[in-house]
Amino acid sequence: MSSKLTMFPYNIAEDTARFQPSVIDSEKGYYDTIEKKFITSSTLDSLMDILIPQKNYFEKRDQRINQSINRIRRNLSVYQKNPGDSYAQVLLKYLSSRFLVSQSQNMVDAAVLIVDIVESTKLATKLSPEELSSLVRVFSQEMSILISAHAGFVLKYSGDAVIAYFPQLEQYGDKEENAIMCGKSMHAIIQHALNSAGPDFAIPKIQIRVSIDCGKDRIVFLGTEPDLIGHTITISSKMIRFAKPGQMVIGENTYINIPAELQQGFVKSDDKNWNYADPETGKIYPIYISKTGEL
Amino acid sequence: MDKKNKFGLPDLDKFIQIGNRSLLIKGRSGTGKETLCFELARNNMKDYNVIFITRNQTDTVLYRRYPWIKDFVQSSNIVEISSAESGMADHSFVLAAVANAVANSSKKVTDPFLSSEVVKKPFIILDIWDSVSREMNLIDKMRAEKLLTSLAEKYDGFIIFLSEQTDTASLEYLVDGVIETAQQYYKTYRIREALLEKLKGVQIRQPKVPFTLQNGRFSAFSRLKNQKQTTSKFVPLPNSDSKFSTGNADLDSKLGGGFKRGAVIGIEIDRDVDRFALVPLLAPLTLNFISQDNPVLISSSADQDVNAIVNYLLPYVDSEKIKNMKIYGHGFGEPSEYIIEREGVDFEASHDRWAKTYDILKTRKKPLLMSVDYSFIELAYPAQGKIVLKAMIENSRNTRHNRDLMIIVSRPGFESLEVMKSICDLHLRIFDHEGTTFIASLKPQMFLCNMQSSFEIGYPQLILEDSV
């Protein structure tokens, strides 16, 4: 295991109940006792290189855009043969569960991010079920990778949406900033990677919208997997429909905690349809929409 | 009946499907352990990757013996651990080799970002355990057995131990299921049995299951059932110059074309066999005669309603042709053109009537089928036993002279059985073994088969599976 992967919850080799050190065909690695798969140390290192948090968000000429295009192409070419989740997605879900289970207070203070595909219902009528599922699959994977790279965790996949949370982690900066940077990277990946590779596989261009807010949510166990419930999750899911395609919407709790240069990219919404009252103040809870050209 | 291979042990399939991990199949050499393993592997190949670990069998040898396993036992998964290179005595080497073989079969993550294929779990067949464990002391042996069963657990797989040893107590305790394959002999024939001793989580409905290895496949014999499906007219099988077809393709094949013309066929049926076991044997024979416009003369048992026999046969033949059939018995008051009533008549008088009917049916000089259950005649006329036996001999004489066909049915404990054995040209015995029905040719010794009834082609047929 690489020495840089010592931060919790990324130091997965500590979990020897799940990851048993093994040597197969003279290659050192870990046998994942849940997934029943063997991953060599070098493959795991290169995977974690991509998943561990990074501070800068993705730009058009970023080499990670090219990596994303390659991943999307590879997956779209095999989607009919391989219906299962990638190992990266499995690992990301594991990291999230590992983090939540470790929280002693059963509460987590985090920015919640929801990203969904705009007009996915229309897409469902245009694409075959296989094409649609492959689109959702590559979308979910690329979003998950970005979430992790921005110090967030995938909470769950919900059809054409991914719900993530960004806890306050000392070593990786502010949760609100991480979530907003992640939202920007998401738009960049969709625009420059998925919409670039997709048409070669008869997948039409898509647009996404993102909503973010922060606060404390309760960790609950529904079955064996931990989940989050609370005000932040609820308000984020209500806010998202006020973001237009290609936009990001954030709540005031997020807005007031981000640096001024980031605040400049948002404008307060005056949409009369937004009538959600803050339970503490009893007043309409303000939301902010990203300005055109800011993402 | 579907004559494609049928495995026939649903309890065992269920045992694997509910998540059990280990099975011991024990039994002497040649009792079908390996074939049973491969059948189980074949039934589960959708979920499992089969690994065969053997001491001295190459893929070439295995594929020659079991050509049907090529689809699910890949050559690369046949792991030969030869005694020459490893020294079987070094059991740690063997254990490491087994663990390696299983680990190597596990799915390796090559591209962690690629949607994954469905991963198959390992299905390990361990054909070397006897050779290895023989050299171990008891403690080492138990440790090794535990290690191997835990391998199946670790890799979410299933492991089968094959053993010819009698002392398998420690392993039997450890594994989830135990089956013994055995065989016994009847005359010169072999009857194989699978004894389902332990199957965790499964209610064993039939602990002893007779089976065959016909065509190199494991096929459990099932109970004789009589499930009528669609109905169509009987298609006769042609007679040859020397033989009458039995109306059953399977039986004709066993007999080299059918029953000899002018032959007396003795059928011994055990007391514990339901007499309806005779139906798939005699109904097609009767239909084959009737449908070729040949006469049939049957003596039914005292308790049987003759109309029931007629009603059974009528859907399969033209009503005109069935008029050449006469049944000697009881009509329970219902007059019928087919019945010769014997109620209230002594045997001598009834035999006279029988002889006259025979003459009438023979006026067209066509070959006749005569079928008599003499054990029932003995029961009906207890004081006239000698005359009954005399009549049997007389009927058989006429049969031979006129080149007809006579079927004599009798049961153990009746005098007619001994006479039947003496005079018949072919002695068939129908008996029950562990709930399944067998038919054996005892004179001459030609076959031992499991009997099944089928209506798949629209009329009754006898399906025979060799017990080999």
Q: Is residue A48 part of a domain?
A: no
- Give the tens place of pLDDT for each residue, A274-285: 988 887 888 999
User: Is residue A6 assigned to a domain?
Assistant: no
Query: What ipTM score was computed for the predicted complex, to two decimals?
Result: 0.85
Write down the architecture of domain B243-466 according to CATH: 3-Layer(aba) Sandwich (3.40)
Is the CB of residue B330 less than 8 Å from the CB of residue B304? yes
| Whether A82 and B155 lie within 8 Å, measured CB to CB | no
How far is B257 from B349, CA to CA, in rounded Å? 38
Residue A254 forms part of a structural domain: yes
Find the Cα–Cα–Cα–Cα dihedral B266, B270, B273, B276, rounded to 10°.
20
The CATH number for A62's domain is 3.30.70.1230
The more confident residue out of B264 and B305 is B264
Backbone angles phi, psi at A114, to 5 degrees: -120, 130
> What does the pLDDT average to over A167-185?
91
pTM over 0.80: no
**In this model, does residue A132 exceed pLDDT 50?**
yes
The per-residue pLDDT for A267 is 95
Domain holding A206, by residue range, is 53-290
Chain A residues with CB-CB distance to B19 below 8 A: none
- Give residue for tokens 């609950």: A220
**β-strand pairing of B22-27 with B158-163:** parallel
User: Which residues from chain B sit within 8 angstroms of residue A36, using beta carbons?
Assistant: 106-107, 119, 121, 155-156
For range A60-73, the mean pLDDT: 83
Question: Is B116 in CB contact (< 8 Å) with chain A?
Answer: yes
Residues B244 and B405 sit within 8 Å (Cβ to Cβ) = yes
* Interface test mutation site (partner B, options A72, A85, A87, max chain B beta carbons within 10 A): A87
Q: What are B346's two structure tokens?
A: 């002594």
Q: What is the pLDDT of residues A205-217, one digit of tens each?
A: 999 999 999 999 9
d(C-alpha B158, C-alpha A127), whole Å = 41
The answer to whether the CB of A260 falls within 8 A of the CB of A179 is no
Q: Is the pLDDT of residue B359 over 90?
A: yes
For residue A63, being part of any structural domain is answered with: yes
Q: Could you write out the DSSP letters of every residue in A85-142? A: PPHHHHHHHHHHHHHHHH-TTSEEEEEEEEEEETTHHHHHHHS-HHHHHHHHHHHHHH
Residue ranges of the alpha helices (H) in chain A? 41-51, 63-78, 87-102, 120-126, 129-149, 175-189, 195-197, 231-239, 252-255, 260-263
Predicted pLDDT at B211: 95
pLDDT of residue B375: 92
Residue A25 belongs to some domain of the structure = no
Residues A25, A28, A32, A35, Cα dihedral to 10°: -40
Nearest CA in chain B to A18: B154
Window A:42-101, CB contacts with B under 8 Å: 43-44, 47, 71, 74-75, 78-79, 81-88, 91
Average pLDDT for chain A? 88
- The reply to whether A32 falls in a domain is no
Domain span(s) for CATH 3.40.50.300 in chain B: 10-220, 243-466
Please tell me the predicted confidence (pLDDT) of residue B65.
Answer: 92
pLDDT digit string, tens, across residues B40-74: 999 988 888 899 988 778 889 999 999 999 999 98
Q: What total of structural domains would you count in chain A?
A: 1
The reply to whether CATH 3.40.50.300 applies to domain B10-220 is yes
Residues of A in contact with B104 (CB under 8 A): 24-25
Name the residue of chain A whose CA is nearest to B152's CA.
Answer: A36
